[in-house]
C-alpha cells in the first residue's frame, strides 16, 4: 500500500483527496521539487530548499511561519519512512494554490502534496549505453521571469515527451523562442567542445536545475547559447537532473558522441 502526505496528513493514495479548485489543477499554479533520497538523507537538500522558497516568493505565495525547510524535511522523511523507502527513492514535493476565483486565489498560503516512488539503484551510475534523443518540434519555450521555475505548468514538457515516445527516443530536446536548445523534457543539457564544458545560461529559459547548479559550482563551465549547429559539432553531450545525476548522450539524428570526458566528470563528482 502506498502512502502520501497531503498538507501534513498521511493517507493512502486511494483515499487521497484534493479539492477541485486546486490552483495547480486549474491553472498550473504551483511548484514542485523532485528529490533523491539515499539512506534517509535528501541529496543536495540546501539547493532544493533555496530554489523552492525563492520560487514561492516569485509566485506571490505567502510562506507560513511554520513552513520551513526543517518542517518540510520532517514531513517528507516521514512519508518516506511510512512507505519503507529510506534506502533509496525519488520524492516529489508539490506546493500549490489552494483555491479561489478566476486565476486568483483567496488564500495565498500554499498547500502541499508529498509522494515517494521506488528507485532502481542502477539508475544512479553513469549509463553504459548512451541516450538517443531528438528535437521536439512545433513547440518552444519563452524566456521570461518564470521560465527558470520548476512549475506545475509543464505542458510543453509533456508534449515533448510524447514526441520522444512517438519516435522511440530516450528523451526530446526543447528549444526557446529564439531557436536555441535549452534543455530536455526532464534535464538540463551540457556539451563539451575541445575539452571545454558549456551549458545554456538561465536567461535562455532553461529550468534552474539543482544538479546544474551543483556542477557549475564544482567544475569550470561556460554559459553559452546552444544552436543546433553547435550541438552537432560538439565532442560530447550529457544531460543532468537531481535524481539521475549525469547521463551521457550518444546520438542525435545521424550524429554520434563519445563519453570520455563525461566519464571523468561523473567520477570526479560522485
- In the chain, the percentage of residues whose pLDDT exceeds 90 is 88
Per residue in 66-83, pLDDT (tens digit) is 899 999 999 999 999 999
In order of 7, 28, 70, the CA distances from 24 in angstroms are 14, 4, 24
Q: Which of 137, 16, 8, 118 is nearest to 74 (CA)?
A: 8
Per-residue pLDDT, 12 = 95
Report yes or no: 139 and 156 within 8 Å, Cβ to Cβ: yes
Q: Across the chain, how many H-helices and E-strands are there?
A: 7, 15
Q: Which of 136, 140, 214, 128 is nearest to 169 (CA)?
A: 136
Mean pLDDT, residues 30-54 = 97
Task: Give the Cα separation of 221 and 196 in Å (integer).
Answer: 7
Q: Which of 150, 121, 137, 119 is nearest to 55 (CA)?
A: 150
Q: Which of 194, 142, 186 is nearest to 164 (CA)?
A: 186
24 has pLDDT over 90? no
Tell me the pTM.
0.94
Per residue in 189-241, pLDDT (tens digit) is 999 999 999 999 999 999 999 999 999 999 999 999 999 999 999 999 999 99
The hierarchical CATH code for the domain 131-269 is 3.20.10.10
In order of 85, 161, 222, 234, the CA distances from 226 in angstroms are 39, 20, 11, 10
Q: Return the domain boundaries, the chain.
A: 3-119, 131-269
- 3-119: what CATH class? alpha beta
Per residue in 81-129, pLDDT (tens digit) is 999 999 999 999 999 998 765 566 667 889 999 999 999 999 999 999 9
Per-residue pLDDT, 104 = 60
- Range list of β-strands (E), the chain: 3-6, 9-12, 30-38, 41-42, 88-96, 111-118, 131-135, 171-175, 181-184, 188-193, 196-199, 222-223, 236-241, 245-252, 255-256
Cell output for 122: 542502477
- In the chain, the percentage of residues whose pLDDT exceeds 70 is 97
The model's confidence at residue 36, banded by pLDDT at 50, 70 and 90, is very high
Q: What is the mean pLDDT of the chain?
A: 94
Per-residue pLDDT, 177 = 97
Per-residue pLDDT, 99 = 72
Per-residue pLDDT, 25 = 87
- Range list of β-strands (E), 14-76: 30-38, 41-42
Amino acid at each position: 500500500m502506498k502512502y502520501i502526505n497531503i498538507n501534513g496528513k498521511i493517507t493512502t493514495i486511494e483515499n487521497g483527496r484534493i479539492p477541485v479548485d486546486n490552483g495547480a489543477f486549474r491553472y498550473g499554479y504551483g511548484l514542485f521539487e523532485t528529490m533523491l533520497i539515499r539512506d534517509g538523507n535528501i541529496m543536495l537538500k540546501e539547493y532544493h530548499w533555496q530554489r523552492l522558497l525563492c520560487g514561492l516568493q516569485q509566485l506571490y505565495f505567502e510562506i507560513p511561519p511554520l513552513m520551513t525547510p526543517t518542517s518540510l524535511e520532517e514531513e517528507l522523511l516521514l512519508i518516506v519512512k511510512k512507505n519503507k523507502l529510506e534506502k533509496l527513492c525519488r520524492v516529489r514535493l508539490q506546493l500549490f494554490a489552494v483555491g479561489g476565483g478566476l486565476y486568483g486565489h483567496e488564500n495565498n498560503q500554499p498547500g502541499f502534496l508529498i509522494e515517494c516512488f521506488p528507485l532502481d539503484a542502477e539508475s544512479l551510475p553513469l549509463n553504459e549505453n548512451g541516450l538517443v534523443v531528438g528535437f521536439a518540434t512545433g513547440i518552444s519555450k519563452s524566456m521570461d521571469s518564470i521560465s527558470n521555475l520548476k512549475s506545475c505548468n509543464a505542458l510543453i514538457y509533456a508534449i515533448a515527451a510524447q514526441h520522444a515516445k512517438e519516435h522511440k527516443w530516450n528523451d526530446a530536446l526543447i528549444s526557446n523562442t529564439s531557436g536555441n536548445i535549452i534543455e530536455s523534457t526532464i534535464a538540463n543539457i551540457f556539451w563539451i567542445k575541445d575539452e571545454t564544458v558549456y551549458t545554456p545560461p538561465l536567461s535562455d529559459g532553461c529550468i534552474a536545475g539543482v544538479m546544474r547548479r551543483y556542477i557549475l559550482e564544482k567544475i569550470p563551465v561556460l554559459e553559452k547559447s546552444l544552436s543546433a549547429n553547435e550541438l552537432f559539432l560538439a565532442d560530447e553531450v550529457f544531460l543532468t537532473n537531481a535524481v539521475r545525476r549525469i547521463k551521457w548522450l550518444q546520438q542525435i539524428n545521424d550524429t554520434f558522441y563519445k563519453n570520455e570526458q563525461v566519464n571523468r566528470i561523473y567520477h570526479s563528482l560522485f
